């Protein structure tokens, strides 16, 4: 008799797909549907969209059925059933899925423990006790050629489970929202941590993801540092089975440098360190953050587009060769951690203007994550505003979060345009909440309240009518090709409100588009060019 029946083997293959998929993509729910078939519970099935539903009834049922299939295969193996390599691999994967959920809460408790003063990692005794229980349980189920007493892959599985728990926690903690953009962002961050192929990640890439630089783009105020923290604080931390401890504490090895707020000299010293006497005030040797960062740590460079060209050359060497030297020294030192950078500027424009090195860009673009604007998120799903307001309110007032969020939402509905574009993004939304909490009002910088915009709104509607009237001349073929292009550029700029966005939409250089926009027509209708 084979190790699995035909139905069990099909189930086991579905469990393997489920284990290695991106849990924040719709495919995760589809795999659950396939393995559970008629038992699939439709209500709140998309648990991966909202935090707090991770142990949805479908997930519990998947674990229960996996345990049952595992027990049946174990009994057959004890009775002398022979099996091939593929069946052994499927058995192992089901065993590990069950173990992950068995120790899930223990890993959550481990996350909450603070590092012990005499250890760089902390979590010493708890991790030791957990690993002992984990290893015992796994070996009780071990079959021939699947885990023996000295199998080092046990420690690797254990470390991998801890990384998955940290990744889930960090992604849901730092990336809030239910809109398609927020959901896609969580999936993108998961890929930045584990890549799209988690099987390959588990085999070889877990040791090498620190070599990949992550670039986060998006408007100011969209939470790029939070994205960086979710990625950086979820790196693989190895577990040493002989000492029964984890390696460097990944939770405390994240350093953020805001480049726009620092002079080039200070950035160089903070990043690379300096030798005593290298400059006035350098009274002692000092290690920079690149040197202090352990292999499992992360250095985050915010506002990379502001970096001085000379420092760009030094940074290029760090990424290319993983080496650097302190200011005033010639000794090579190695950077072992992960580098994450962020910018709200268009690097393509900076490159064209000679302000950013093209070769540096091609060293940091291996992994790009885009942070969506708040306006985009709210436009996709109106619930996004309520979710963000409640989350922000909880951080500010605690238990009265829902009441405050409701008050702010009511004020926004009454005083801001329905399509208010939130130019300051989530950062502006937080200040709006604080203003309403303190003064029961908020004045947008752009003045786009309902009452304050009545005159401007009339001007904009007049402008739209005028432009649409001119556009109607197309039907009469009364415009030259040059006039038509100018009109189309003007219409596009008028509707998007940004030269950069209009240029991207039309596939033109920003300067070309600006030259094509008719300022007289815009000014005539109350729109500044």
Helices within 332-480 (DSSP H only): 347-352, 358-364, 374-380, 383-397, 401-415, 425-439, 454-471
Q: What is the dihedral of CA 445, 447, 449, 454, to 10 degrees?
A: -170
Strand 338-343 and strand 298-302: the pairing is parallel
**Cα end-to-end distance, the chain, whole Å:** 79
- Cα-based distances in Å from 275 to 292, 312, 326: 15, 21, 6
Does 357 score more than 70 pLDDT? yes
Give the phi and the psi of residue 263 in degrees, each rounded to 5.
Answer: -75, 155
Under 8 Å between Cβ of 445 and 435: no
**pLDDT of the residue at 112:** 83
pLDDT digits (tens, 9 = 90+) for 8-17: 999 999 999 9
Give the phi and the psi of residue 223 in degrees, each rounded to 5.
Answer: 90, 35
The DSSP element (H or E) to which 136 belongs, if any, is helix 124-141
Higher pLDDT, 58 or 499: 58
Q: Is the dihedral of CA 192, 237, 104, 386 positive or negative?
A: negative
**pLDDT of the residue at 146:** 56
The residues, any chain, with a CB within 8 Å of residue 243's CB and separated by 6 or more, are none
Tell me if the pTM is above 0.85: no
Residue among 68, 67, 56, 6 nearest 32 (CA):
56
What residues are paired with 301 via a beta bridge? 257, 341
Highest mean pLDDT among 147-156, 293-302, 516-525: 293-302
pLDDT digits (tens, 9 = 90+) for 221-253: 999 999 999 999 999 999 988 887 887 654 558
For residue 498, the tally of other CB atoms under 10 A from its CB is 12
The DSSP element (H or E) to which 75 belongs, if any, is helix 57-78
**pLDDT of the residue at 250:** 45
Look over the chain and give the mean of its residue pLDDT values, rounded to a whole number.
87
Q: What is the mean pLDDT of residues 41-70?
A: 92
Give the phi and the psi of residue 216 in degrees, each rounded to 5.
Answer: -110, 125
Give the phi and the psi of residue 416 in degrees, each rounded to 5.
Answer: -110, 150
Does 432 score more than 90 pLDDT? yes
- The confidence band for 148, taking pLDDT boundaries of 50, 70 and 90, is low
**pLDDT of the residue at 281:** 80
Does 515 score more than 60 pLDDT? yes
- The confidence band for 425, taking pLDDT boundaries of 50, 70 and 90, is very high
Does 359 score more than 60 pLDDT? yes
**pLDDT of the residue at 124:** 66
Under 8 Å between Cβ of 388 and 426: yes
**pLDDT of the residue at 51:** 75
Strand 254-258 and strand 298-302: the pairing is parallel
Does 522 score more than 90 pLDDT? no
**pLDDT of the residue at 454:** 38
- The confidence band for 61, taking pLDDT boundaries of 50, 70 and 90, is very high
**pLDDT of the residue at 27:** 94
Lowest mean pLDDT among 43-57, 87-101, 109-123, 388-402: 109-123
- The confidence band for 78, taking pLDDT boundaries of 50, 70 and 90, is confident
What residues are paired with 245 via a beta bridge? 240
The two three-digit tokens of residue 517, written as one number: 């926009």
Higher pLDDT, 476 or 422: 422
Share of the chain above pLDDT 90, in %: 62
Higher pLDDT, 144 or 157: 157
């Amino acid at each position: 008799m084979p190790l699995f029946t035909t139905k069990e083997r099909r189930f086991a293959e579905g469990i393997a797909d489920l284990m290695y998929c991106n849990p924040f993509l719709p495919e995760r729910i589809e795999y659950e549907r396939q393995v559970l078939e008629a038992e699939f519970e439709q209500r709140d099935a998309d648990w991966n969209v909202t935090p707090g539903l991770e142990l949805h009834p479908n997930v519990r049922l998947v674990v229960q059925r996996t345990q049952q299939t595992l027990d049946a295969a174990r009994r057959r193996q004890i009775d002398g059933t022979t099996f091939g390599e593929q069946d052994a691999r499927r058995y192992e994967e089901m065993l590990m899925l069950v173990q992950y959920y068995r120790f899930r809460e223990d890993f959550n408790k481990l996350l909450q423990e603070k590092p012990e003063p005499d250890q760089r990692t902390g979590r010493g005794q708890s991790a030791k006790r957990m690993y002992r229980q984990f290893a015992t349980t796994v070996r009780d189920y071990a079959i021939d050629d699947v885990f023996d007493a000295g199998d080092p892959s046990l420690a690797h599985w254990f470390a991998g489970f801890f990384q998955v728990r940290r990744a889930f926690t960090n992604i849901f903690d730092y990336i809030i929202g239910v809109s398609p953009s927020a959901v896609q962002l969580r999936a993108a961050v998961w890929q930045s941590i584990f890549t799209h192929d988690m099987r390959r990640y588990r085999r070889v890439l877990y040791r090498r993801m620190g070599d990949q630089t992550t670039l986060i783009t998006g408007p100011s105020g969209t939470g790029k540092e939070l994205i960086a923290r979710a990625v950086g604080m979820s790196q693989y931390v190895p577990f040493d089975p002989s000492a029964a401890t984890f390696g460097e504490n990944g939770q405390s090895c994240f350093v953020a440098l805001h480049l726009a707020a620092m002079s080039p000299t200070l950035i160089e010293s903070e990043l690379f360190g300096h030798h005593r006497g290298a400059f006035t005030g350098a009274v002692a040797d000092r290690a920079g953050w690149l040197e202090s960062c352990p292999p499992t740590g992360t250095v985050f460079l915010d506002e990379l587009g502001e970096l001085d060209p000379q420092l760009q050359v030094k940074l290029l060497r760090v990424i290319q060769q993983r080496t650097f030297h302190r200011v005033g020294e010639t000794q090579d030192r190695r950077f072992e951690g992960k580098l994450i950078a962020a910018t709200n500027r268009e690097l393509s424009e900076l490159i064209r203007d000679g302000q950013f090195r093209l070769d540096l860009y091609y060293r940091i673009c291996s992994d790009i994550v885009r942070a969506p604007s708040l306006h985009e998120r709210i436009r996709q799903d109106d619930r996004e505003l309520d979710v963000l307001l409640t989350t922000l309110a909880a951080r500010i007032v605690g238990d009265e979060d829902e009441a405050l969020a409701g008050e702010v939402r009511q004020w926004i509905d009454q005083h801001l345009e329905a399509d208010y574009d939130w130019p300051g993004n989530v950062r502006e939304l937080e200040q709006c909440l604080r203003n309403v909490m303190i003064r029961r009002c908020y004045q947008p910088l752009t003045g786009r309240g309902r009452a304050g915009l009545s005159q401007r709104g009339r001007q904009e509607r007049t402008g739209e009518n005028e432009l649409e009237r001119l556009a109607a001349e197309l039907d009469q073929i009364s415009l030259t090709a040059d006039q038509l292009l100018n009109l189309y550029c003007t219409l596009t700029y008028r509707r998007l409100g940004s030269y950069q966005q209009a240029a991207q939409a039309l596939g033109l250089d920003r300067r070309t588009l600006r030259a094509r926009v008719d300022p007289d027509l815009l000014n005539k209708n109350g729109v500044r060019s």
